[in-house]
Amino acid sequence: METKTETPKTATKKAKPETAIPATKKKKTGGRQKGTRNKTTAQLKDWVFAFVSENLPNFKKDFKSLPSDEQFNIIVKLMPYVLPKQTETKISLDEELTKAVKDSMDKVNEMFK
């Protein structure tokens, strides 16, 4: 009598290749309208605004009592919320354009000699 040992089916299953389903744009049918603020976020922002507004005189008084280096650190940390962040701008010129600009500058310099 032979005894058969069966392997578990999960171990012998081969992974099926994923089939690509074409992406179709569906019209939004529910949920918040575009631009509508999240209720929790709106409530939190309102609470923070009220808290800061109510305590502004105390904040100013406490700020003035801090050492100047701590005042500076606070101002630096608050700046990103007031001023836009500056981005670095790089200009890349190809060789032909660089040569043309240099030639033009040489001509202008010769005119004023």
User: What single-letter DSSP state applies at residue 76?
Assistant: H
pLDDT at 23: 64
Q: What is the pTM of this model?
A: 0.40
What is the pLDDT tens value at each position of the chain, 113 positions in all? 555 555 555 555 555 556 666 667 777 677 777 777 788 888 998 999 999 999 999 999 999 999 999 999 999 998 888 888 778 777 776 777 888 888 888 888 888 87
- The DSSP H or E segment spanning 65 is helix 39-65
Rounded-to-integer distance, Cα 99 and Cα 106, Å? 10
Q: From CA 51, how far away is CA 81, in angstroms rounded? A: 18
Contacts by 43-52, CB closer than 8 A, 24 or more apart = none
Reported for 72-80, long-range contacts at CB under 8 A and 24+ positions apart, including other chains, are: none
